[in-house]
Amino acid sequence: MRQIPLLTLPIALKYWESVVQKITKAGFSLVGSQRLILKDEQTWIVDAHGYGKRFIIRAEELLTAFVELERAIHELPVSLLS
C-alpha cells in the first residue's frame, strides 16, 4: 500500500474540504465518498447531486476525486447553455 507523506496530508485535506464547501455553496449535496481496495489498488468514489443531475467520480486519490467532481459541476452551466 502506498503511503502519503505526512507533510502533504494537511494541505490535501484542507483543499478537498474547500472543494466540498464550494460544491455545497453551488447548491449540490455531497452524497458521500467511499474508498474501495480491490487487488491492492485503492479507488475513491465521490457522489454528489443537485439541479436534477448526479455526478459519480472515481479516482485513485481522494483529492483527485474531489477536484474532478468540482470540474464536472462547473462544466454543467456551460453544457446547459449549449
pLDDT digits (tens, 9 = 90+) for 7-55: 555 565 578 888 888 888 888 898 888 888 888 888 989 999 988 889 9
Residue holding cell 436534477?
Answer: 52
Write the CB contacts of 33 (distance below 8 Å, at least 6 apart in sequence).
44, 45, 46, 47, 62, 65, 66
Question: For residue 58, what pLDDT is reported?
Answer: 93
Structural domain contains residue 9? no
- Separation of alpha carbons 41 and 22, rounded Å: 29
Structural domain contains residue 19? no
**Nearest CA to 63 among 37, 26, 35?**
35
Structural domain contains residue 39? yes
The number of domains in the chain is: 1
Question: Mean pLDDT over residues 75-82, rounded?
Answer: 61
Question: For residue 81, what pLDDT is reported?
Answer: 47
pLDDT at position 3 over 80: no
Q: Can you give the pTM of this predicted structure?
A: 0.71
Q: Beta 29-38 vs 41-50: how paired, if at all?
A: antiparallel
Structural domain contains residue 11? no
pLDDT at position 80 over 60: no
Expressed as residue numbers, the domain containing 35 is 31-82
Question: Mean pLDDT over residues 62-67, rounded?
Answer: 89
Question: For residue 55, what pLDDT is reported?
Answer: 92
